[in-house]
Structure 1
Amino acid sequence: MNNLPPLAERMRPKMLDDYAGQQHLVGQGAVLRKAIASGNLPSMIFWGPPGVGKTTLAYIISQSLDRPFFSLSAINSGVKDVREVIEKAALYKQGGQTLPVLFIDEIHRFSKSQQDSLLGAVERGLVTLIGATTENPSFEVISALLSRCQVYILQPLSEEDLISLLQKAMREDELLQQKRITINEHEALLRLSGGDARKLLNIFELLVNALSGTAEIVINNEAVLANVQQNMALYDKAGEQHYDIISAFIKSMRGSDPNGAVYWLARMLVGGEDPLFIARRMLILASEDIGNANPNALLLAQSCFEAVNVIGMPEARIILSQTAVYLATSAKSNASYMAIGEAMDLVRRTGDLPVPLHLRNAPTKLMKNIGYGKEYKYAHSYDGNFTDQDFLPEQLRGTKLYDPGQNARENEAREKLKKLWGERYKY
């Protein structure tokens, strides 16, 4: 049994009719099935969570059209690998042969320059590109490439889809057919798999092997938790552990502990987390938890995101570490975060209050005649570029939403606001 591929690989479908889920794309009369049937296949991006069949669907498409299939992973492939495939595709075209499908798994991990290397071949039709991504392609795929691809969204597999896969495996897999297997409960299997068909089948195979000493293998929630859970990976970027570790990372930076921040960063990177996901979360923290206590934090976090996008791993780990340490050791303030939260709550409670007349725009004579902008005071016409006037609806006059944090920069801002507004906002 050790010489055979894993169950998930043995059960990989080879025909469209055996493919599980995604009926909105490949069901009878669906858009992608029509494109395959016509033979006019556009370059495309498959966007969806792990284990929903992106790689399998790409392979089935190439086989359905009798097209050569090249597969690259953005984790361990670079521009050189892409160019080699493109050169082979050019030879196919020169020889009048069928042009290939180029599948790139995790295309969001390609840097801008790596994605640029695909453009020419896609434009000339040398290859039909199929990219797979778990991340929003609007943010992760360069616009020039994205505009040349059709984006198809793959949905998480339903419980019915996943249970059907298990039943199909027990019916059709030559090894499982030899065993007496009864599944009394599915909940733990489905929860641990997180909707990932590949993981579900791998967990199921691990469980069957663990219980093979008995004449009949009975699977229930207790058996799953007892035999599988302790063998699960320490970091699972698609499951509960993913959210626990990113939470620990954020809380370490918020709590000003660079040691904790770098440790949890390392856990994510070693576990294969997308560096851009990490960089995005640091961007949010820079504004939510640091804000105007240190405005440079947001600038550094933005620079980090852009640099990681251009450079990619493994060098991106250095930039991520530098930024995490900077954010962890920075002064903290959530004042802006709290202010917008309170303001939005206030809007929900008070509704669409009218804009005071003196603040309204007056582009027409009629608007001027009825008082739009009439008593507005242009701040730059006054000493210190300030004059006392109301900027909130009349019903909310004097409502303070921004309360500066207790740090050097915002203490300075508080003193300035006191001088400007006196008792109006009670700073």
Structure 2
Amino acid sequence: MTPTDRVDIPLADGGWEGVVLNEHRAWVEHPQPFTSRVAFAAAHVVADPRGENVPGAPAVVDWDATLGFRRHLFRYGFGVAEAMDTAQRNMGLDWPAVQELVRRSAEQAQDLGARIASGAGTDHRADLRTVADVREAYLDQVGFVESTGSQVIVMASRQLAAAATGPDDYLKVYADLLGQVREPVILHWLGEAFDPQLRGYWGSPVVAEATATFLELVAAHADRVDGVKVSLLSAEHETALRAALPAGVRLYTGDDFNYPDLIRGDGSHHSDALLGAFAAIAPAASAALAALDRGDLATYDAEMAPTLPLSRHVFETPTWHYKTGIAFLAWLCGHQPGFTMVGGLQSARSVVHLGRLFALANDARLLPDPALAAHRMRLWLESAGAAR
């Protein structure tokens, strides 16, 4: 072994771990959608390294790299979940950038015959005080997303969480929205692990009570709901919820800690997927889902297994900073020219955390050019003052 075959990453105790590079794995592309599950990858945005992407500044996006990353996901069979929390909604991606992102991404998806669904929320207005204000803001964004030809994902609203006085306010706002959408939408229940400002969504901090309200809404409007994306990081809750959904309404797992078993299913029900983790593990997840299409459960399990430690690390507490790991891995893999993020969010994870991310991606054989990844990892450690 030569020094170029290994990267020394720093440990929290002051020691070092020597990461021996694995050989490149030639993953098989899968440009067609999967037949046994619907699978979306929630994609990040690539910041322009020359832009003023500092905290509080308008986002400056590298459009070529951002759209190129979506083509990478399409090549492995995934639809793109656009302008979601993975793309830094409420964490640096302002409304003008969201609009441009959805327009460009929807146009590309349509040109390539790929599936896209995009987030509609209420984050474009700072003056929302009442539930009626929130309703109007939602309708603005839903109308915009529909105008691009993208499917709508109705995102959870911080402003609604602040304005609502109880479950009835949620039911009224969402009923009004669902009564006006053109096509069935995906409802997104984002838990407080991803955004503490969403605590008590659906009118109660007690999950069982919130779930009852959520199910009441879905049952009353099942014909307008394609599916629900649930990001509470509780496999037990998701398993019970999907069994209670009306026939024909999908549960798109947002559980980045337990997705292999939830997608595999329990023999009676299974989850489909809409995951930020899939942006990081697309080739391996694609291989697993292709095996599931063939009924090859052993290969499905074997392909998913090495991805789970990586995903759990990327999404570790504080979970809402997972976007930093997604962008760092995209840089290591050569999908973008630099490691910078809108809002300066590249600073949100530590040297030790990102070093471990490199090691776990290497274990999962998700570094398409190990030499490039090692070179970039060393450069970054040197610039951080953490090289051996």
Q: Normalising TM by the smaller chain, what interval?
A: under 0.3
Determine which structure has more spread, i.e. the larger CA radius of gyration.
1
Q: Which has the higher strand share?
A: 2
Instruction: Name the TM-score, length of structure 2 as normaliser.
Output: 0.25
Higher relative contact order (CA closer than 8 Å, sequence separation 6+): 2
Instruction: Name the TM-score, length of structure 1 as normaliser.
Output: 0.23
Q: Which has the higher helix share?
A: 1
